[in-house]
């Protein structure tokens, strides 16, 4: 069920493009082999798997650890990009993308414009001192676009199907 398009009375309607991008990303990742997931644009740079695990981890950390959304299974996704975390195959990466997306989508569909202004304190000494939900959502959109672009570039560089924008 795609709640992004079902209830136009919520802010979720404004995130339709993000939903479409999520679909393109999962379609690009799903057919990749274990070997293809290890590809990077150059030696010493992050692999496709590492980038996608970072995207999943970031989503879970911002939504669970900062905003307080999601259960322990969702919270565990926030450790997928930790040092020493295991590699994941394409099916696991798609699971992580879809699970994190579902949790974020459900939250977005439930928040009012006023609730987007709710603020959260950053770690002491870090800037900015406060984050709003709106800022966190925008940050995750730009994060997905940036790192999804890295994935797309890496795929294309190696002659594989990139995100079909």
Q: Is residue 5 part of a domain?
A: no
Q: Is residue 94 part of a domain?
A: yes
pLDDT class for 146, splitting at 50, 70, 90?
Answer: very high
Q: Is residue 63 part of a domain?
A: yes
Tell me: is residue 146 an annotated ligand-binding position: no
> What pLDDT sits at residue 12?
65
pLDDT class for 10, splitting at 50, 70, 90?
Answer: low
The number of beta carbons lying within 10 Å of the beta carbon of residue 51 is: 22
The number of beta carbons lying within 10 Å of the beta carbon of residue 130 is: 10
Range of the domain at 119: 30-157
Q: Is residue 144 part of a domain?
A: yes
Q: How is residue 98 written in tokens? A: 């879809």
CATH number at residue 62: 1.20.120.450
Tell me: is residue 158 an annotated ligand-binding position: no
Residue 120's DSSP bridge partners are 131
> What's the total number of domains in the chain?
1
CA neighbor of 141 nearest in space, from 3, 11, 10, 9 = 11
Flag whether pLDDT at 3 surpasses 80.
Answer: no
Q: Is residue 6 part of a domain?
A: no
Tell me: is residue 143 an annotated ligand-binding position: yes
Q: Is residue 18 part of a domain?
A: no
Q: Is residue 55 part of a domain?
A: yes
């Amino acid at each position: 069920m795609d709640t992004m398009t079902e209830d136009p009375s919520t802010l979720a309607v404004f995130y339709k493009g993000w939903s479409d991008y999520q679909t393109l990303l999962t379609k690009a990742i799903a057919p990749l082999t274990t070997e293809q997931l290890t590809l990077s644009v150059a030696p010493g740079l992050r692999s496709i798997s590492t980038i996608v695990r970072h995207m999943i981890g970031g989503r879970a950390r911002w939504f669970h650890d900062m905003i307080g959304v999601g259960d322990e299974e969702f919270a565990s996704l926030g450790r997928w990009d930790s040092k020493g975390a295991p590699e994941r195959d394409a099916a696991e990466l798609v699971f992580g993308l879809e699970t994190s997306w579902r949790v974020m989508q459900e939250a977005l569909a439930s928040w009012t414009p006023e609730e987007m202004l709710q603020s959260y304190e950053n770690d002491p000494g870090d800037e900015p001192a406060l984050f709003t939900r709106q800022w966190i959502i925008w940050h995750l959109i730009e994060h997905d676009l940036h790192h999804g672009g890295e994935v797309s570039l890496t795929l294309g560089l190696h002659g594989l199907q990139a995100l079909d924008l």
